[in-house]
Structure 1
Amino acid sequence: MKKLLNIRYFLIGLAMSFFAISCVDLEEEVFSDVTADNFFQTEEEFISALGQAYSSLGGLGNHSGLWSINELASDEITISTKGGDWFDGGVLLQLHQHEFLPDNPFFNNSWNFLYGGINTCNRLIFSFESLDNPNSPAFIAELRALRALYYYWAMDAFGNIPLVTSFTETEPPGTSSRTEIYNFILSELNEIIPLLPVAKDGTTYGRMTKWAALMIRMKLYLNAEVYTGTPQWALAAADAKEIINTGPYSLMPSYRDNFLINNSGSTENIFVYPYDKVFAGGFNWVMMTLHIASQSTFNLTQQPWNGYQTVEEFYNSYIDPVKNPGVQGPVWRGLALEQSEGTIDGRLSNFLVGPQFRSDGSLLEDPGVEPFDATGRNGDPNGTPITFMPYLNEIWPQGLRQAGARIGKYEFEMGGTNNMSNDFVVFRLSDAILSLAEAEFRLGNTTEALALVNQIRERAGNLDPFTTLTEENLLAERGREMYVEMTRRQDLIRFKKYGEAWWPFQGMNRPKRVHSPGSFLELFPIPEPQRLANPKLTQNPGYN
């Protein structure tokens, strides 16, 4: 019921948005007038309008946008070129190999996603500010919090960006510095956090609350040294403690339950986007990661695209070599792990590995599998039976069709469509716990930090607690817990590990592009189409 309540008003907002865009014939007969004076009278009418701002978040769960640029540029995810599939003009290789070019369409898609959300927030804020209605201030605060989220993502990705808060401004904006954007977001959050709702119920599900806004501010402080040059560990710790100690959230007993098809009952998820396969589509991971033949595994209505894969070294980070001797074999790990019950990280539910089957239990085969030869270089050693191997032979030009552990973090629906109904998790309590652990660690409070990290390890299951905490195992634990939650690139930059010499596949079949912490590649380029449309925008250093 919680999800249905929100989708109802979300759909009203979408319908209004469509109506506003579609009605361009000024000679049409008008049967009724919907104006600020006669529409924004009840809370439900305000919420239906808010749905237009939240609907922009629907771009998070699909291919070629903000999620893709963050994940493909990290050490978590890659998309190998599989013969004639997935080369796409080299734009995917650019992202993973850190050869970013301003004309890469993924950057422009991400920019449009972010500023589309910002512009919608600005428009609704302008509309609500013109009303003499007691409901207006609360909803304006909510819109400012959502706008802060869009700006936080934009600043993290692109750094120096335009700051636009007026809906009526006609002059194209220039570029503001990353520090100026940081200060704006922080000022906004400081002002509106006391005005936001604190309840966790059907009225606030999928909407900005005090706790979601605190997560944004905590993230600002956690990355403050990267953004401004000045660390703010104590302030990050204070916000994390407020979320953990006074917020209405608790860790779910099972990690997996946060990502089920019906995950609206999670006690851990702080802010989500409520996807629905019928009413709010766009969550396409089932298409993006599964093999073409996996259609028969889940009786899907469409064939998947056989694209996104996990980097082998990242998958291996879940495996304890002490408890699992010999598991680090040269080809794949699926069966070996299944035979080691009680000795594996419970968060391996993040992945699909091993033999794949049809829905009737029969073995799934791939007649197009690459033939294996004695050298082990030119084909799939598992043959035609589909076996998702963590092993990646290469990402270009002949990546194996079955290579790479597939993204299994969110439950796939039997008989599902190309759109998933799982609610997309933006912020989770476990992130706040690990962020507090890191802030305490940076402040020298290692005992407190160790206890917090071990709380997350204990929930994962089958893991011994850490006896000491280091930067290395803290970063690794964040990676295992937060896989594909759009945090890894940011974490690698903050831990000064982004683009190091060990970067998997960074230079496969090409000269390696290794860069040091602080490289210009820690920011994505301002998209070329945006600079052509607005000459006032300044390109980030290194991309001119």
Structure 2
Amino acid sequence: MTMKSKYRYGLALLLILNICACTNLDEDLYDKLPADQFGQKEKEINALIAPIYRTLKPIWSPAYFCMVDGSSDMAITPTRKGGDGWEGGLFKEFRFGTWTSGNRYVTDSYNGMMRGVSTCNQIYHMVNSNPSVNNKEQILAEIRAVRALWYYYLIDNYGNVPIVTDFTVTDKPKTSSRKEVYEFIISELNAVKDLLRADVTSNSYGKMTQGAAYTLLAKMYLNANIWNPTAGTKWQEVIASCDKVLSLGYTLESNWKASFAVNNQNSKEIIFPIVFSTVDGGNIMLQHTLHYLSNAALGLSTTGFNGINAMPGYVREFDTEDIRFAGSFLIGEMRDPATGQILMTAHGRPLIHHIDFTFKYSVDADGWGQVEQEDGARCYKWEFQKGVNGNMENDYAIFRLADIYLMKAEALVRSGTSNAEATELVNAIRKRAFTDPAKLLSSVTLNDIYKERRFEFAWELVSRQDMIRFGTFLNPIPGPVGRGAINAIRLIYPIPRTAIDANPGLTQNPGY
């Protein structure tokens, strides 16, 4: 049985929370098993903790995507000619840095993250109170590490949030400072990291492992100067965490595209993924980036919503000889395979995706308007499976080994430890991106590493965090669909108005 098959079984067992659903896994009737005896077999444990992984799926959603890539200089969801994509100005707010505490996507993302925390707390309570669960220490460590991941997303985006760890406590929590949240995450990860399984196998794929926990630690230490500046930088801790991951058996794929293939669960570069399935909540990028007619050109049986595309300036930073250029962006003519003719939009224009575009229609006083339906380079990073008629199978890698290489390189350069080793790590990434050895670097700078991260991680939900760490997030974004400089309050998002209305003990972030 493949790991994806196991997860399809496990994720279908949400009702196992009450041990009352009629469920059949390999003919084992768990609905007839007393709750206090459930958790002795690996399949039972997988079913029991499956909800903590299922809650991760909303990370790969339009809401969170707009918050992190749509607020940076990486991506935009423009209003199309005719008004499609306006959504009451939702996407304009992310592009211009004018979001408020009532923004729907800011609210949805916060609620989703807090639900993830609550689910972890609930499953932790169930496992901890069940005397029959085998390997309980490791399972509890796994749950705590996933909860720490949710707090990583919360500290990155919202900063000051409540710390909740006990599912049985019904009192409304109060806001903890970003410093307190940072220290909590670090403490949790250090407590559980070595209790987790260390194998890099099909059985550990999709689970919170030592590799995932140490990668998360590296991320925390890498951003320590932003999230907990009074404690100083943690470059040596970044290096040590990365070295641990490098010792565990992950490998860079020689084929860069392998980590984004339809069946990318076989990639040994992926450290921790969101496991997607076409039958149980799939990858939705296809729908949110492709034009309504692109399915004909690409041989698909489902249509796109004509939404997300790349910012022109971002695309033009790429070397066209870099395989990640063609591998990340869908650009150019979309032809009908039956006739060979370029498809035509509803406005009688050829369906040719241009890198550069501008607001041409109904431009308002702020400079936002409508663009042609066909404008913009689309996301082409995750393989589109021929004939797919819904969500895609491709898993999304929250963490992959290329990030470890570049995080360690950044820490080495920032700490002045070893430019030679940092250069070697960056070149390992560039070697598979270029066929010309002349494209390798002789000595890397911080700016080289920043650019390499931009080339390597297009569409992968890291651009906002990277821009903040490298000090570019508040800067003007040039170009006809760019923006001016934005205020420093935009370095974190507001706590949603609805959350504060429901819990007056929460404190709003400064400036909102």
TM-score normalised by structure 1 residue count: 0.86
Matched, 1:495 2:473: no
Q: How does 1:175-186 map to 2 (within 5 A)?
A: 175-186=175-186
CA distance in 2, matches of 1:440, 1:130: 44
- Is 1:407 the counterpart of 2:379 in the alignment? yes
Is the 8 Å Cα contact of residues 345 and 373 (structure 2) preserved in structure 1? no
Q: Which whole-Å CA distance do the structure 2 matches of 1:21 and 1:147 have between them?
A: 26
Offset of residue 33 of structure 1: 6.4
Residues 21, 94 of structure 1: alpha-carbon distance in 2 compared, 3 angstrom cutoff: farther
TM superposition shift of 1:314? 0.6
Paired amino acid for 2:243: K
How many residues align? The count is 491
Counterparts of 1:520 and 1:48, CA distance in 2: 42
Q: Is the 8 A contact 2:4 2:275 kept in 1?
A: no
Residue 331 of structure 1: aligned partner: none
1:231 aligns with 2:206: no
Residue correspondence of structure 1 range 57-96 to structure 2 within 5 A: 57-64=56-63, 66-83=64-81, 84-96=83-95
Deviations 1:241-292 (A, max 9, x none): 1212x111111111111101111111111111111111x2142110100001
Distance 1:2 1:364 in 2: 41
Q: How does 1:379-528 map to 2 (within 5 A)?
A: 384-394=349-359, 396-444=368-416, 445-462=418-435, 464-503=439-478, 512-515=484-487, 519-528=488-497
Kindly report which structure 2 residues correspond to 1:363-382, keeping only aligned pairs within 5 A, or say none: 363-369=341-347
Query: So what's the TM-score if we normalise by structure 2?
Result: 0.91
CA contact (8 A) 2:160 2:176 kept: yes
For structure 2, the 5+ residue unaligned runs are 23-29, 360-366
SS in 1 for 2:397: strand
How big is the shift at 1:451?
1.6
> 2:155 touches 2:178 (CA, 8 Å); kept in 1?
yes
Question: Structure 1 residues 73 and 19, CA, compared in 2 at 3 Å: closer, same or farther?
Answer: farther
| Corresponding residue of 1:268 | 269
Note the C-alpha offset of 1:507.
5.8
Distance in 2 between the 1:318 and 1:258 partners? 20
> Is residue 275–residue 421 contact of structure 1 (8 Å, CA) maintained in 2?
yes
C-alpha separation in 2, matches of 1:47 and 1:367: 47
d(CA) in 1 for partners of 2:88, 2:143: 38
The answer as to whether partners of 2:345 and 2:374 remain within 8 angstroms in 1 is: no
Relative to structure 1, the CA distance from residue 124 to residue 35 in structure 2 (aligned partners, 3 Å threshold; closer, same or farther) is farther
Question: Are residues 485 and 346 of structure 1, via their aligned partners in 2, closer, same or farther at CA, if it must alter by over 3 Å?
Answer: closer
| Correspondence list, 1:295-306, <5 A | 295-306=295-306
How many Å apart are 1:513 and its aligned residue? 4.1
- 1:97 aligned partner: 96
What amino acid does structure 1 have at the position aligned with 2:234? Q
2:511 corresponds to: 542
Looking at structure 2, the residues matched to 17 and 485 of structure 1 have their Cα atoms a distance apart, in angstroms, of 32
Whole-angstrom distance in 2 between the partners of 1:201 and 1:359: 40
Q: Secondary structure at the match of 1:456?
A: helix
Instruction: Report what 2:170 is aligned to.
Output: 170
Contact kept in structure 1, 2:410 and 2:449, CA below 8 Å: yes
Q: Which segments of structure 1 move beyond 6 Å, counting only runs of 4 or more?
A: 18-22
Structure-to-structure mapping, 1:194-213, within 5 angstroms: 194-213=194-213
Amino acid at match of 1:538: T
| Pair 1:130–1:16, CA change in 2 (3 A) | closer
- How many angstroms does 1:144 deviate by? 0.5
Q: CA 1:113–1:239 in 2, change beyond 3 Å: closer, same or farther?
A: same
Is the 1:363–1:385 Cα contact (8 Å) retained in structure 2?
no
Give the partner amino acid of 1:476: K
Q: Which residue of 1 aligns with 2:124?
A: 125
- Most deviating of 31-40 and 83-92: 31-40
TM-superposed CA distance for 1:506, in Å, is 6.8
Aligned mates of 2:388, 2:61 — CA distance in 1 = 16
Query: C-alpha separation between the residues in 2 aligned to 1:429 and 1:214?
Result: 12
Matches within 5 A, 1:128-167: 128-133=127-132, 134-167=134-167
Shift of 1:71: 1.1
Shift of residue 53, structure 1, vs aligned partner: 1.0
Asked if structure 1 preserves the Cα contact closer than 8 Å seen for 2:329 and 2:381, the reply is yes
What does the per-residue CA deviation read over 1:213-268, in whole Å, with 9 as the maximum and x for residues that have no partner?
A: 00100000000000011210110011111212x11111111111110111111111
Distance 1:369 1:20 in 2: 54
Residue 51 of structure 1 aligns to a residue whose secondary structure is: helix
RMSD over equivalenced CA pairs, Å: 2.1
Q: Runs of 5+ in structure 1 lacking a partner? A: 23-30, 320-336, 338-342, 371-383
Structure 2 counterpart of 1:378: none
C-alpha displacement of 1:359: 4.0
Once the two structures are superposed, what CA deviation does each residue of 1:434-490 show, in whole Å capped at 9, x if it has no partner? 000000000112222112111111111235112332222221111100111111110
Distance in 2 between residues matched to 1:160 and 1:169, nearest whole Å: 20
Q: Matched residues, percent identical?
A: 32
SS at match of 1:497: coil
- Partner residue of 2:278? 277
Partner of 1:292: helix, strand, or coil? coil
